[in-house]
């Protein structure tokens, strides 16, 4: 089955009328004050929608959460520039409605999902995860989303699906950083099928109980807490089930520095710096980095028998 991709055709062509009407009803149902607040404040919080009810999830870390302000003003999103404050400063040009995500490849049920339908695909949970950037800083972030496997189950991958590829929007008009060839756009990431099915792997639509701000990957992104932050691709437009290991944007840019697995590992240094310690944003002293970012108990089995220095 052939599915045309969102950038090729205007959104009006790809949104079925019933989805469109549902979305209109949903937006009209919001209080005017809420809509205005969402549009006007909090640094590019996605406009026009509020999250459905969020329940407290099963993986809520006890560590103090990194303040919302730091989470939303200090991060990487190269589509808006390479500086840590560029995403917050420039991501206002990203339009997150209408938005669709194509889910396709080696699956029985390919589908072009409207974001409003994705928001209602499974109950939304709060998950508080430790996040570790490959550059040496870390945060504790309260995400809102549901396990990716909820979507995978509804998509019914075939036996040929060995990996999952995640693709970020490619539109230099909205993402000015894409006018420079810092990376081979679009941003692509990948997981092995068992990693994608792991209950910790999240599709996130919100943080701290609110819609995702643009700079954090609105309207929908991946969150994989035991891997370096760059695996958690933002602003997704495609999720593809494939037979071969995807060529990720970072592997294409610097294959000696960024491997496919990218599991947080204090014993495997980046070629240009040590990964043994990290700076938790807001703290003065460095902390020891934990194997699999502290999630070894849950994920170590996925890599049993593998040489983690070779498969970095
Ligand atoms: N996704 C896209 N599309 N583009 C990016 O540049 N940067 C990654 C990841 N996802 C990035 C991306 C990196 S290096 C990190 S550390 C996290 O996003 C940081 O953002 P966060 O704090 O919102 O998770």
Strand (E) or helix (H) holding 154: helix 148-155
pLDDT tens digit sequence for 183-234: 999 999 999 999 999 999 999 999 999 999 999 999 999 999 999 999 999 9
CB 90 within 8 A of CB 176: yes
Q: What is the pLDDT of residue 35?
A: 36
Q: Which residue among 70, 76, 278 is best mutated to probe the pocket of ligand 1, counting the most ligand atoms within 8 A of its Cβ?
A: 76
Strand (E) or helix (H) holding 242: strand 236-242
pLDDT tens digit sequence for 103-124: 999 999 999 999 999 999 999 9
- Whether the per-residue pLDDT at 34 is higher than 70: the answer is no
**What are the backbone dihedrals phi and psi of residue 208, each rounded to the nearest 5 degrees, phi first?**
50, 40
- Whether the per-residue pLDDT at 304 is higher than 90: the answer is yes
Ligand 1 geometric centre to CA of 198 (Å): 20
Q: What is the pLDDT of residue 45?
A: 65
Q: What is the pLDDT of residue 57?
A: 80
Average pLDDT over residues 89-114: 98
Take atom 4 of ligand 1 and give the residue whose Cα is closest. 77
Categorise residue 71: left if φ over 0, alpha if ψ from -120 to 50, beta otherwise: alpha
Q: Is the CB of 183 under 6 A from ligand 1?
A: no
Which band of pLDDT confidence, cut at 50, 70 and 90, is reported for residue 49? Answer: low
Q: Which residue among 75, 184, 207, 253 is best mutated to probe the pocket of ligand 1, counting the most ligand atoms within 8 A of its Cβ?
A: 75
Q: Is the CB of 250 under 6 A from ligand 1?
A: no
Q: Is the CB of 278 under 6 A from ligand 1?
A: no
Ligand 1 geometric centre to CA of 154 (Å): 27
Q: Is the CB of 293 under 6 A from ligand 1?
A: no
Q: Is the CB of 232 under 6 A from ligand 1?
A: yes
Q: What is the pLDDT of residue 29?
A: 39
Ligand 1 atom, smallest distance to 133 CA = 16
Q: What is the pLDDT of residue 32?
A: 36
Ligand 1 atom, smallest distance to 78 CA = 6
CB 290 within 8 A of CB 300: no
- Whether the per-residue pLDDT at 31 is higher than 50: the answer is no
Average pLDDT over residues 27-39: 38
Q: What is the pLDDT of residue 159?
A: 98
Ligand 1 geometric centre to CA of 1 (Å): 32
Q: What is the pLDDT of residue 95?
A: 98
CA distance linking residue 39 with residue 223, whole number of Å: 25
Which band of pLDDT confidence, cut at 50, 70 and 90, is reported for residue 53? Answer: confident
As a whole number, the mean pLDDT across the chain is: 88
Task: Return the structure tokens found at 261.
Answer: 């697995």
Q: What is the pLDDT of residue 18?
A: 42
Task: Return the structure tokens found at 264.
Answer: 């947080």
Q: Going by DSSP bridges, is the β-strand pair 124-132/54-60 parallel, antiparallel, or unpaired?
A: parallel
- Whether the per-residue pLDDT at 28 is higher than 60: the answer is no
Q: Is the CB of 229 under 6 A from ligand 1?
A: yes
CA distance linking residue 268 with residue 225, whole number of Å: 17
pLDDT tens digit sequence for 277-296: 999 999 999 999 999 999 99
Task: Return the structure tokens found at 311.
Answer: 């498969």
Which band of pLDDT confidence, cut at 50, 70 and 90, is reported for residue 297? Answer: very high
Q: Is the CB of 75 under 6 A from ligand 1?
A: yes
CA distance linking residue 249 with residue 132, whole number of Å: 19
Q: Is the CB of 78 under 6 A from ligand 1?
A: yes
11-303 under CATH 3.90.420.10, yes or no? yes
pLDDT tens digit sequence for 234-245: 999 999 999 999
Which band of pLDDT confidence, cut at 50, 70 and 90, is reported for residue 56? Answer: confident
Q: Which residue among 88, 229, 254, 262 is best mutated to probe the pocket of ligand 1, counting the most ligand atoms within 8 A of its Cβ?
A: 229
Q: Which residue among 79, 142, 230, 236 is best mutated to probe the pocket of ligand 1, counting the most ligand atoms within 8 A of its Cβ?
A: 230
pLDDT tens digit sequence for 141-193: 999 999 999 999 999 999 999 999 999 999 999 999 999 999 999 999 999 99
Ligand 1 geometric centre to CA of 182 (Å): 14
Q: What percent of the chain has pLDDT over 70?
A: 84
- Whether the per-residue pLDDT at 8 is higher than 60: the answer is no
- Whether the per-residue pLDDT at 27 is higher than 80: the answer is no
Q: What is the pLDDT of residue 52?
A: 86
């Amino acid at each position: 089955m052939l599915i045309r991709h969102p950038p090729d055709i205007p959104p009006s062509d790809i949104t079925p009328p019933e989805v469109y009407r549902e979305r209109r009803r949903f937006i009209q149902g919001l209080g005017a004050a809420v809509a205005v607040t969402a549009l006007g404040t909090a640094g590019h919080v996605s406009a026009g929608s509020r999250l459905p009810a969020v329940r407290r999830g099963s993986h809520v870390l006890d560590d103090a959460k990194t303040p919302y302000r730091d989470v939303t003003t200090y991060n990487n999103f190269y589509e808006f520039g390479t500086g840590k404050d560029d995403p917050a400063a420039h991501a206002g040009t990203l339009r997150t409605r209408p938005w669709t995500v194509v889910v396709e490849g080696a699956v029985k049920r390919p589908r072009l999902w409207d974001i409003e339908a994705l928001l209602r695909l499974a109950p939304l949970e709060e998950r508080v995860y430790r996040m570790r950037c490959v550059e040496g800083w870390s945060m504790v972030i309260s995400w809102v989303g549901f396990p990716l496997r909820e979507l995978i189950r509804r998509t019914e991958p075939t036996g040929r699906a060995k990996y999952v590829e995640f693709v970020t929007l490619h539109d230099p008009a909205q993402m000015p950083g894409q006018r420079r060839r810092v990376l081979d756009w679009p941003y692509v990431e990948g997981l092995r099928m068992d990693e994608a099915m792991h209950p910790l792997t999240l599709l996130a639509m919100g943080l701290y109980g609110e819609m995702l701000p643009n700079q954090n990957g609105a309207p929908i992104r991946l969150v994989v807490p035991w891997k370096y932050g760059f695996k958690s691709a933002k602003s997704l437009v495609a999720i593809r089930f494939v037979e071969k290991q995807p060529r990720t944007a970072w592997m294409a840019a610097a294959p000696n520095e960024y491997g496919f697995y990218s599991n947080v590992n204090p014993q495997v240094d980046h070629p240009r710096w040590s990964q043994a310690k990290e700076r938790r944003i807001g703290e003065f002293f460095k902390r020891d980095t934990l194997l699999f970012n502290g999630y070894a108990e849950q994920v170590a089995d996925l890599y049993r028998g593998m040489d983690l220095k070779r498969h970095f």
